[in-house]
Chains A and B, each alone.
Chain A
Amino acid sequence: MTVLDLLGAAEEVHDRAPVVELRGVTRQFPGDPPVHALHPTDLTVRAGEYLSVVGPSGSGKSTLLHLLGLLDSPTDGEYLLDGRPTSGAGERERAALRATRIGFVFQAFHLLPHRTVLENVLLATVYSGVPRAERRERAVAALERVGLAHRLDFLPTVLSGGERQRTAVARAVVARPAVLLADEPTGNLDSASSESVLALFDELHAEGLTLLVITHDDEVSARAQRRVRIADGRLQEIA
């Protein structure tokens, strides 16, 4: 990939439809006094972008991730996912959106310990309505993509941290989501494993996946094409 290609890609991005669009989104937690976890925020992530949100703990990172992942609802403002407003969506619609439009990668991996690597990936296809006949094929393909084709029938408990996180990435992308949300994806990994996961993110981005990585680590955030800093519930673009 040359510099020219990158510039071309960057120009293209501005023409693409936004995948994630926050318009004045606010999140307050009731209390005395109320806690402003997220001040009114505007954020647009276009298809194919690789965005990192960096900030210290307690800065509102997790709140932002929960809002973007439809695990939480904003107190005010509008969140458009794939151009569709989500504020009127009910519990079932939000679940369906999570299943089909969003892929999650967590710091703690969240792999089921009694299921094999392949079964863990298959779990994501069950809820997202991947055609039954394609499920296994697509799960195997996703695991091949993250370099774990030789680990299909292993239990997650015998894998290294890097392999576990790559399994989680395979699970997140198997349903072909619009955006991959990663919450401190390298938080539990040593530097070699971190590097393997971040390299995988680079490859997925190059293939056109939209990524949003939340981290407190500047090194991790530096890998992204576009960086946003969050502090005290306010977002600020890093030039």
Chain B
Amino acid sequence: MVTRTEKRRWPLLLLIIPFIATLLPFLYNSYQPELIGIPFFYWYQLLWTILGALVTGIVYWLKA
């Protein structure tokens, strides 16, 4: 079987981004700014469910 010779490793480093963004609560532990009445703490993390998926999607697309 032919393995893909262009396989890249570096995009895997991008996978660390969701960890930094969501596992350091002091980054987002506040009420303000609110979005449609939802405190920052809550909508920021909800937003990261989508951003986290995007990061993984980009890594896949970069063929890591």
Q: Does B bind A?
A: no
